[in-house]
Structure 1
Amino acid sequence: MASDPILHIKDSYYFEVPSWLAPSHRESLQDFPDVWIRLDPAYQLWEANLVHAKLSELSKGVPSETDFIHNWEHWQHEPGNHGKPVRRYLKELAEEKTKDDKPANPWAESWPEAQELVTVAEYRETAQPWSPKKIEGYNEVLSGKILIPQPFGQLRNLYQKDSGFCISRFMVLETLVAIVMVLVFTWYASRLKKSIVPKGRVTHLLDAFVCYLREQVIRPGIGHGADKFVPVLLTMFFFVLGCNLLGMIPWLGAPTASFSVTLSLAFATLVIGMGAGALKFGPVGVWLNLIPHMDLPLIIGIPIKIMLFVIELAGLFIKHAVLGVRLLANMVAGHLVLLGIVALGVEMSGWNLILTLPIIVGSAVLFSCLELFVAFLQAYIFTFLSSLFIGASTHHH
């Protein structure tokens, strides 16, 4: 399940909106998406029986059908295994080893071949129709959920992929931000080509951002040779800003509230900095540049410089990891505070709710304004720190 259905902090493979905007009116088993059918207990039992039959044909030593199903269902009741299909159970069995480091269940190693023979399409053709009560319950759960098509992969559930390349909600939003950036800055560049002096409110706004970041952030942060990094750092700023601002729009969420996004951006900063340093100092020199210059006797200098290199190397990776965590923590923290304020009114009723409602609404508005400020501030801080890190990698200490 999502960490919270209101603020969409966790990534998913669907967009969630109010149920009245996207009601689910599916009438039969045939109308439900494959991922939902695979989560149905009746399908999973059918799948387990079929996989057992295929395993019995492929291998020897397979337990009886009754024991196989019983053991799988018992495994499902263990912590962390609730609702997991039989293929997850068999994969775990196949990985078990004896004391002699031999397969504990050699028959289970054939599970991928047996699993490939099981398809949702076959279940749709052979299964008994679902009861109206089950369909009604599933429609209630799926109402308000707009599932993202997955042409290149298969989902395990609405929050985890099973195989292939699956498209998540944050991927769609990041692509949207990238497309908007291409369109806006292509237009911005065309306006500047027509006139040396920017004209128009939007052009002036963009020009103010670009000039300030270039003159007050990137050039001072990197120093000599900073201009070649201006395009990539401007791209980072506006991409982070766009992702942050999406968190202010209902039912979308901020992609920068995901570790995968923020750590990828921090990794990009690391690669750019060390790559530029390698071009300037050489593939070995860029690492030796981590050690500050010291005039020490050889017998003392070698051990001290080795220790400093280890410390600086650890610091290099830690500070870039913190760069990503800082961005994520600030974006998630605002959402959690806002959620806590809104949640104050959930359990209230009557006069208590009437008296506290203005306070809750007012606080939510103020914190939303604060989040808007934080969205710009964190984009600025990320760009500023990235400039400093790149500058440290491309200049002698």
Structure 2
Amino acid sequence: MNEQWVSFANEIKKMYGKYFVPLHEPTFNDTEIEYVTDCVKSGWVSSVGKYVDRFERELAEFTGVKRAVAVVNGTAALQIAMKIAGVKPNDEVFMPALTFIATANAASYLQAIPHFVDVSEETLGLDPMKLEEYIKEIGVMKNGNLVNKKTDRIIRAVVPMHTFGHPVDLDPLVELCLRYNLALVEDAAESLGSYYKGKHTGGFGVAAALSFNGNKIMTTGGGGAILTNDERLADYAKHITTTAKVPHQWEYVHDEIGYNYRMPNLNAALGCAQLTKIEGFLASKRALAIRYEKLVEQIDGTRLFMEPTFATSNYWLQTVILDSEVHRRDDVLALLNDAGAMARPIWTPLNELSEYKICPKDELTVTEKLKETIINIPSNPLKGHAFYDKT
């Protein structure tokens, strides 16, 4: 069995032509140099400039929402998305336990309480059916709000995360939110270019958050964006992320406590350049998944996680599911990394982290299973692929 994993790592190194293949690398060429150079020459490199406005406009067009508000990173985007959706101090927020810590941190910054629920093996994301059963167990409607009977706190929102770019099953989740007066806020940090039943993720709820970290489908170096179809909420998000400053020719008047979450024009210039290539990135990621699927099939007790039938995934992070009776996760990780192909496990479930152990939670059966059976493997676009070369 060890030989199969070493052979797999060697195939990955051959594909990329490298002695050691990292999990992610950004893809840049002359377009990025051109746009960033133009931004530098303009002198407008900070929070004001033509590229910020252009990036927001083109991002909204690509994702099919009415508005996009560019900010400093994905965590800030999610915090503000929850805030404009009505999350207040002492509210509880449903979210998967199997997600990056930023999902819970964003709620905590608003002094809200993460409430952890289980995920689905079909999507790796929040399971709407299990959530419905759990709500019936612990929830009661009071004055139009869903209240946790055990804590007497209002449960204000649901925050599904599209794990590794694979969309959760959104239709039943939308219906559930309508029935229980819950705000749907999508953590779409990993799902730029992913579609649920033909509609881009991030447009199904009150608001959503994207990330443009260096390891994402496309990058602005550091950055994120809030998506919404509500013009009023978009204006408010823009206002409070730019220090809540009231427009004036010279006066500094701020009408509430705001946030300095502005995306610099320099980062937005990089983002505009990357957006011109997004279709090529997505096509190359999909081609890589198809190639990996054939390679993984050759290893006993494994499978590559493929998009759900109702979704079109961006395949941001290629994911191998192990049969725990055949493979020990940490043994596989050691073999791949030692052989020159970077691999990592999924995140530690948030309910296991010291800062979040006290948070309310449902039974997390699938979460517990997946944390021991998921590994991620190198997911960079492949050089030499037709779509990659067009970038």
TM bracket (short chain): under 0.3
Q: Higher RCO, 1 or 2 (CA under 8 Å, sep at least 6)?
A: 2
Normalised to the residue count of structure 1, the TM-score between the two structures is 0.27
- Give the structure with the higher percent helix: 1
Q: When the two structures are superposed, what TM-score results if normalisation uses the length of structure 2?
A: 0.27
- Larger C-alpha radius of gyration, 1 or 2? 1
Pick the structure with more strand per residue. 2
